[in-house]
Structure 1
Amino acid sequence: MVNKKIIVTGIALTVLFSACKTKDLKMSSAKEKATTEKKVVVYQVFTRLFGNKNTTNKPWGTIEENGVGKFNDFTDKALREIKDLGVSYIWYTGVPHHAVVRDYTAFGISNDDPEVVKGRAGSPYAVKDYYNVNPDLAVNPAERLQEFEALISRTHKAGLKVIIDIVPNHIARKYEGKNNPEGVSDFGAADDVSVEYKGDNNFYYIPNQHFEIPDNVLPLNGEKNPLIDGKFDENPAKWTGNGSRKAKPDQNDWYETVKVNYGLKPDGTKDFPELPAGFDQKSVQEHFAFWQNKDVPNSWKKFKDIAIFWTAKGVDGFRYDMAEMVPYEFWSYMNSAIKAKNPNAFLLAEVYNPNEYRNYIHLGKMDYLYDKVETYDKLKDIIRGKSSPDELTAIQNGMSDIEHHMLHFLDNHDEQRLASPEFAGSPERGKPLMVVSATISTSPTMIYFGQEVGEAGDEDAGFGKRSRTSIFDYIGVPNHQRWMNDGKFDGGQLSDSEKKLRDFYKRLLNFTIKSPALMGSFKEIQTVNRNKSVAYDSLVYSYTRWTENQKLIITVNFSSEKTSEFELIIPVDVIKKWDLTDGSYVLADQLYLKSKTYLTVKNGEGKMYVKLNPSESLIYELK
């Protein structure tokens, strides 16, 4: 969700690694796992926007005015092009049926009150029916689920895997499961609404108080609508999605959603079985076994059933919105159940509290977490002149035991676009950030559709404002539309600079998914060069990556103005680990396959001449 507040529930267990042996074991295990795998690349696409060819982009425009993309716009050609970009997974964002303003009553869908819908198209994180998909995305809304199932099949045929969202912490204010499988009841259907809390209630209530629309909310920008009357029928009122306990939430609260009760009492104490000590060391199979025959809150069962439903449809993984607002015991329960059905499921969580990372990985059994607060934020600070590249080293070393689990990105639906003035300022200035993000660790890399052609998110869409591509409105994505080229998906309308940028992303991503060294060891060489290399610039960052069969030296220039020329030092400890003797070695650039240079080893220390143009990066492989 956009403009999230960082919320710490105060209920998480802090796992202390009491002995170095434990941490070393985890580090060893993570590295062993990494070296047996290939680098993974996730392509996040906002499904509603991908295929939209309309370029009107009127603020607050309707579907008729601004257009909308469909599942069917992901043609075989489009999927092949995404695959060829160097992509492993597609995260189809905004697929579950969420609250919308458009009238779909002809298809048996009730209207949603615009006063509890953000934007005209609605927030994808206010899900209205988890057992069906957004009717906006279907050519025939009556067959929307079948159209998505066909997209899953096409995606798999293209050699890609499918991720969709699950939003566990909150659902739409008006949830209406009209497509529930047999035996599945709606959220809240059996709740005791006379009390604030009960263990098996799906929601928290504010007894004897009606819900009130927040002040200063202007639905549909003031447009008339028969449902806009200053009221929304919810009695008693429920807690709001971000945890507000007011019957009249604030306009900045997630007022379009209600918070789901996972068995946490209002005072924060737990009303469910806790994982025994040492379960951070247990396998996912042992976690699954632990939960058998345990009495767990009803909401746990509901979300597990939802995940298993989509897994059975062929969905290969999930991205969990605001996972840290839900106790990790639930994640142990749900993720182990998913892995029992699909051991290779890709489970990605949005977690922003570094103190909790290891809990959600080891106890919650998440495969991957967002590396926003550390790597992403640091890269953003570097390119905006607020921080030094030197500080990347401490981040990488500090997460060495979990780095494989920390997904890297520079662009997503929540964040300001990489090419926007509020971030890098141009696609070119974003290039060195992308090289570091994609090569500094064994973690998966994610890009957001349009990033590869320099989309800057410069549209005033209505509810969504400039610098982010709106997730609340019907809008076109100009740079992406030029690549889409009226459905040909051949880049026919791209400028020369946009074509070169996409080529850069294609070269980089394809190199990463094939490089064994990027799943191997990391050693920074920044410190020795900052201390000993005379001409080494403060906006250059360098490191090494290697396995037995491949050895890389990566150096990037964050400056968009200055060319850097210097003698790069490869320290003695790296030369020793690479088992190099004194002599001369050829190094070949792997990004453009044009540049060659030589590494000279003398007295056990390596040196090489490097020239970095502004915003340039070099990935040298030892031949």
Structure 2
Amino acid sequence: MKKLSILLIFWAFSACQSPQKQETDQPAAPKGKQVVYQVFTRLFGNTNTTNKPWGTMEENGVGKFNDFTDRALDEIKSMGVTHIWYTGVPHHDVIRDYTAYGISNDDPDVVKGRGGSPYAIKDYYNVDPDLAVDPAKRMEEFEALIYRTHQHGMKVIIDIVPNHVARNYQSISRPEGVADFGEKDDTSVEYARDNNFYYIPGEAFKVPESKNGYLPLGGEKHPLVDGKFDEYPAKWTGNGSRKAQPDFYDWYETVKVNYGVRPDGSYDFELLPEGFDKKDYREHFEFWKDKDVADSWEKFKDIALFWLDKGVDGFRYDMAEMVPVEFWSYMNSAIKMKNKEAFLLAEVYNPALYRDYIFKGKMDYLYDKVELYDTLKHIMQGHGSTDHLPAIYDGLADIEHHMLHFLENHDEQRIASAPFAGKAEKGKPAMVVSTCMSTSPTMLYFGQNVGERGDGDMGFGDESRTSIFDYCGVPAHQRWMNNGKFDGGQLSPSEKYLNDFYKTLLSFSAHSEALLGAYKEIHSYNRENTKGYTDKLFSFVRWKGDERLIVVSNFEEAEHAFQLKMDAETVAAWRLKDGTYPLVDQLSGKEDLRLVVKNGQGYIDLVLPGLESHILKVKK
């Protein structure tokens, strides 16, 4: 029998804090888990339902910072949300003409979509002009949104993308004395440590050859659409392509940032000494204080500190594993010295690198995609087995708190889309497992709570993922918005039911003490000892203090009737004597189930409907 292990509890504030606030040695413990609400800011408040492919802002509409009203923030908060990740805030390439505001036009030949990719950032010291009612006051409008978010008891996360910038990066808002990216580069060489970019000397950049009949702006005539973009010498492309003419499927709209990694892969900076994975951010900060680092390191550190001064509470780092871990140690330790509560979330997809980026790079959280998300997706699609889940947890047990869980984000297919599961309800059992299985934060993507399908070809990109490149409306989410009332007034009955499920689950997770406590799976025990318990069911227990939870989920549409068993070791750990214990389902509120303890073992007679779950709290 597997030996019980009590997990370490990792604490973090859930209340908002000014980045200027002095550190305290003993932060208050949170009541429950952190919940991140990811919202694509440009789409959130848009009520226009036209959805014309390649449609303009006037045709398809666009959301604004001001659409996050007090009422909207109240409703987001009611889902247990502790942090809002406002995706697409920094000023990135767009096709719309903003020259009246001193912003140069962007070339559609190197811009993806009409609204532009949020990961082709053009000016790190300002925000996307599309998001402001008055583009001249776009920063003031975002600062007001930060303030409103804090007033509603939530923290603010934005993107930083250190691996690459827009091919035409040009900051018109940078502070006095700050040099632009590439401004001081020696472009006669492929590499120099303090160059911000890598170059292809003697060759001019060429726009990639189109594939599958692609035409910028869908073929619409535009003065800058000529198949050319002036860049000499050509720079390496964001995904590392060293060709003057990158492939169409390369990240051709971006250029790779140089951190002192030579073209042969060797490092032009000092490595962290052995054992630094065990040292805290203060010691990392002290290590780098007297070190001479590459120019790009300083530039991005200054950018992060700039946004902290604006009141931003944390960052989501795009493709963090493409940037050396030593840089993250340097930047994240500087961030933590300014605000130790800062929420630092990174996109790292190589499991072999997880621990380095957490412990050496001082990341708070990484995506748990490659193992948990991918496995849950397979199960939701009807192919996978829940028997694989215990091994995933065990393999990450030492870092489980750092592995943020999600079922949707801007890069992934919508659960309700035909290529994924075709039905939003199939995400319910997976969301219960994803939310309740660990102490790590849970992330919800806007529209997921009402079964958004991501249908429609909006221009660049493909269906099944809500567009991040073009202007569009998000139909199910718009019904939830109900023209700014944010009361779900236009939702169908099934959408309302789904929304209530997400709201109940996430709100519970944000207040549950047990979900920050110990974990033990009882799935394997039931697979061996329970008739009718299949690999489409999954069960585990969580406990801390006086709160004891039994979680069981049914991933099939068919009903399952069985007797769930709790092994003697678990019963002993919970100090339960023989007898009958009432159970309260935290999802439905029902109190019609009982845990019977007999001869030191537990039994619950269950009839679990298809795609449903129980979170059963033992009532003593």
Q: Smaller-chain TM-score range?
A: over 0.9
Contact 1:30-1:402 within 8 A present in 2 as well: no
The aligned residue for residue 39 of structure 1 is: 33
Task: Give the Cα separation in 2 of the matches to 1:123 and 1:500.
Answer: 33
SS in 1 for 2:9: helix
Q: Which amino acid aligns with 2:199?
A: Y
CA contact (8 A) 2:40 2:86 kept: yes
Matched, 1:333 2:330: yes
Distance 2:81 2:417 in 1: 24
Match of 1:64 among 58, 74, 80: 58
Q: Contact between 1:598 and 1:608, CA under 8 Å: does it hold in 2?
A: yes
Partners of 1:350 and 1:513 in 2: CA distance: 23
Distance 1:43 1:329 in 2: 29
Contact map agreement 1:119 1:220 (CA 8 A) in 2 = yes
Which residue of structure 2 aligns with residue 563 of structure 1?
A: 559
2:247 counterpart of 1:250: yes
Show the counterpart of 1:82: 76
Amino acid at match of 1:609: D
Q: 2:341 aligns with which of 341, 344, 369?
A: 344
Give the counterpart letter for 2:47 in structure 1. Answer: K
Mapped to 2, the partners of 1:110 and 1:376 lie a distance apart of 40
Distance 2:384 2:424 in 1: 20
Q: Distance in 1 between matches of 2:223 and 2:449?
A: 42
By how many angstroms is 1:610 displaced? 1.1
SS in 2 for 1:190: coil
Counterpart in the other structure of 1:501: 498
Q: Secondary structure at the match of 2:386?
A: coil
Normalised TM-score (structure 1): 0.94
Whole-Å Cα distance in 1 between the matches of residues 504 and 332 of structure 2?
34
Give the 3-state SS of the residue equivalent to 1:500 in structure 2.
Answer: helix
Q: Which residue of 2 aligns with 1:601?
A: 597
Which deviates more, 442-451 or 595-604? 595-604
- State whether structure 2 residue 445 is matched by structure 1 residue 460: no
- Mapped partners of 1:596, 1:203: distance in 2: 64
| 2:606 alignment counterpart | 610
Alignment correspondent of 2:91: 97
Q: Distance in 2 between matches of 1:176 and 1:422?
A: 39
Residue 47 of structure 1 contacts residue 94 of structure 1 at CA under 8 Å; is this kept in 2? yes
Q: How does 1:259-408 map to 2 (within 5 A)?
A: 259-408=256-405
Q: Distance in 2 between matches of 1:232 and 1:428?
A: 46
Q: Which runs of 5+ in 2 are unaligned?
A: 13-27
Answering whether residue 111 of structure 2 is matched by residue 117 of structure 1, we say: yes
State how far apart, in whole Å, the 1-side matches of 2:248 and 2:560 are.
Answer: 49
Residue 186 of structure 1: aligned partner = 180
- In structure 1, what is the equivalent of residue 158 of structure 2? 164
Offset from partner CA, 1:312-343 (integer Å, 9 cap, x none): 00000000000000001000000000011101
CA contact (8 A) 1:587 1:596 kept: yes
Query: Could you tell me how far 1:128 is from its partner in structure 2?
Result: 0.1
Where does residue 106 of structure 1 map in the other structure? 100
Using the TM superposition, give the Cα deviation of residue 32 of structure 1 relative to its aligned residue in structure 2, in angstroms.
Answer: 5.4
Q: Distance in 1 between matches of 2:83 and 2:205?
A: 41
Give the number of equivalent residue pairs.
Answer: 597
What is the aligned partner in structure 1 of residue 471 from structure 2?
Answer: 474
Specify which of 39, 42, 49 is matched with residue 48 of structure 1.
Answer: 42
Q: Superposition pairs for residues 420-569 of structure 1, below 5 Å?
A: 420-560=417-557, 562-569=558-565
Q: Is the 8 A contact 1:195 1:205 kept in 2?
A: yes
Q: Distance in 2 between matches of 1:463 and 1:240?
A: 19
Q: Distance in 2 between matches of 1:122 and 1:312?
A: 27
What are the Cα deviations for residues 56-81 of structure 1, in whole angstroms up to 9, with x where unaligned? 00011011110101111111111111
Instruction: Give the C-alpha shift of residue 498 in structure 1.
Output: 1.0
Equivalent-residue separation in structure 2 for 1:69 and 1:134 (angstroms): 11
Separation in structure 1 between the aligned mates of residue 96 and residue 82 of structure 2, nearest angstrom: 34
Q: Which moved more, 1:125-134 or 1:153-162?
A: 153-162
- Partner deviation per Cα, 1:435-481 (whole Å, 9 max, x = no partner): 11110100100010011111010121111321000000000000011
Which runs of 5 or more residues in structure 1 are unaligned?
A: 1-23
- Distance in 2 between residues matched to 1:206 and 1:359, nearest whole Å: 32
Aligned-residue sequence identity (percent) comes to 66
CA deviations on 1:524-564 (whole Å, 9 max, x unpaired) are: 1011111110121331111111112211100000001x110
Q: Distance in 2 between matches of 1:45 and 1:294?
A: 38
Offset of 1:595 from its aligned partner? Answer: 3.8
Q: What secondary structure sits across from 2:124 in the alignment?
A: strand
Counterpart for residue 19 of structure 2 = none
| Alignment partner, residue 203 of structure 1 | 197
The CA distance in 1 between the partners of 2:320 and 2:205, in whole Å, is 26
Cα distance in 2 for partners of 1:31, 1:48 equals: 36
Question: Does structure 1 residue 592 correspond to structure 2 residue 588?
Answer: yes
Partner of 2:568: 572
